[in-house]
Amino acid sequence: MRAWIVGRPGPVSSGPLRLVEREPPRPGPGEVLVRVRACGVCRTDLHLAEGDLAPRRPGVVPGHEVVGVVEGRGHGATRFTVGDRIGVAWLRHACGVCRFCLRGDENLCVAPRFTGWDADGGYAELAVVDEAFAYALPERFADEEAAPLLCAGIIGYRALRRARLPPGGRLGIYGFGASAHLAAQVALHEGAEVHVVSRSERARRLALELGAASAGAPGRPPPRRLDAAVTFAPAGEVVPEALAALDRGGTLAIAGIHLTDVPALSYAEHLFGERAVCSVTANTRRDGREFLELAARLPVRATTTPFEFDEADAALRALADGRMRGAGVLRMPR
């Protein structure tokens, strides 16, 4: 099979991805073999390729927003049948026995495994996954629409809930890419007033098209104090800007697996008045099921920029350069 691997991590302009031929994977006990139809292009893939996240195995295949069809089953796998369309997401294993798993917080598991980091992901023609960590996908979403929901959507949903946005409250979103444009739709459907801050003019236009009350550039505070905020931009300097925009009692949720250093904070300007800040770490399967059900019911619509499978390296360059509208998706040849 053909697959893209991370060769030598480095700037995306140096071509850290390589297209190779590999033996097809075989599903082990409880696993299913998936023929990939589409795979989302996530900023985590960019962090992996550039070395912000050190690959956990040499030649790993990125991609953790995988939509495909079950082509085979390992011993004991009975949840799905051959021909079923399923989704493969970031979290692919949790131990189930640590104190975090036992209390329902498997996203904080002490021995997790992740798709496209610990194990090969969806920048390939075939992939395997433990069926217990795969998702049944709502029929209303085409492959290209469903792919970004599997990480950008799920993580955005968890970040939104972590921000403790009150009903009808004012939400600030900093950075407006794949995850943010999906979370914004959930917030808007639930009656929030959404204010977006993004360095990208293209992203600001999309935010206004989706119904944001305002969309401005960094360094310019939203027109109204915020009840909650989420930062999706992987830039630490955004954190004090978002905290300064919060009203009393507001919460800032920092989404993303990588963030540059946060500058020094002023207690009076950024934290006093019971303003709070929290991080967002992966997701639980419960988050995934809740979001996919909600996304189908509202419905949430993913704005996508499609790339052919052979263009995976170009897709990462477009993401790095801020040329992506919504979410990038690799389309597999049929």
Report, as an integer, the average pLDDT of 182-201.
97
226-231 and 170-174 beta bridge pairing: parallel
Q: Do 186 and 84 fall into the same domain? A: no
Please give the average per-residue pLDDT across 148-158, as a whole number: 97
**Taking 80 as the threshold, does the pLDDT of residue 199 lie above it?**
yes
Please report which confidence band the pLDDT of residue 66 belongs to, taking 50, 70 and 90 as the band edges: very high
Q: How much is the mean pLDDT over the chain? A: 97
Is the domain of 131 the same as that of 244?
Answer: no
Q: Which of 279, 302, 319 is the endpoint of a domain?
A: 279
Based on the domain organization, do 250 and 308 belong to the same domain? Answer: no
Q: How confident is the model at residue 218 (pLDDT cuts 50, 70, 90)?
A: very high
pLDDT at 185 over 80: yes
Q: Which of 279, 295, 312 lies at the terminal end of a domain, its last residue?
A: 279
> Quick one: pLDDT at residue 282?
96
Burial class (CB in 10 A: 0-12, 13-18, 19+), 315: buried
Are 194 and 109 contained in the same domain?
no
The SS3 of residue 33 is strand
- Residue 334 pLDDT class (50, 70, 90 cuts): confident
DSSP-assigned states of every residue in 124-161: BSEEEEEGGGEEE--TTS-HHHHGGGGTHHHHHHHHHH
Residue 250: give the domain boundaries: 154-279
263, 279, 295: which is the final residue of a domain?
Answer: 279
Cβ-Cβ contacts under 8 Å for 5 (sequence gap 6 or more): 17, 18, 20, 59, 60, 61
| Average pLDDT over every residue of 197-219 | 96
Number of folded domains that form the chain:
2
H helices present in 190-284, as ranges: 201-210, 238-245
Residues 197 and 214: their CA atoms lie apart, in Å, by 8
Query: Quick one: 133 and 206 in the same domain?
Result: no
Are both 146 and 159 inside the same structural domain? Answer: no
Tens digit of pLDDT for each residue in 32-57?
A: 999 999 999 999 999 999 999 998 99
C-alpha distances in angstroms, 180 versus 10, 26, 128, 201, 286? 26, 35, 28, 15, 20
CATH for 77? 3.90.180.10
pLDDT above 80 for 105:
yes
Would you say 195 and 222 are in contact if contact means Cβ atoms under 8 Å apart? yes
Q: Are residues 239 and 274 both part of a single domain?
A: yes
Same-domain status, 23 and 144: yes
Q: Are residues 263 and 186 both part of a single domain?
A: yes
Q: Kindly indicate the confidence band of residue 256, based on its pLDDT and cuts at 50, 70 and 90.
A: confident
The answer to whether residue 74 scores a pLDDT higher than 90 is yes
Contact between residue 22 and residue 62 where contact means Cβ atoms under 8 Å apart: no
Is residue 333 over pLDDT 90? Answer: no
In terms of domains, do 326 and 204 share one?
no
6 and 147 assigned to the same domain: yes
Q: Tell me: cis bond preceding 299? Omega within 30 of 0 counts.
A: yes
Same domain, 210 and 302: no
CATH number for the domain spanning 177: value is 3.40.50.720
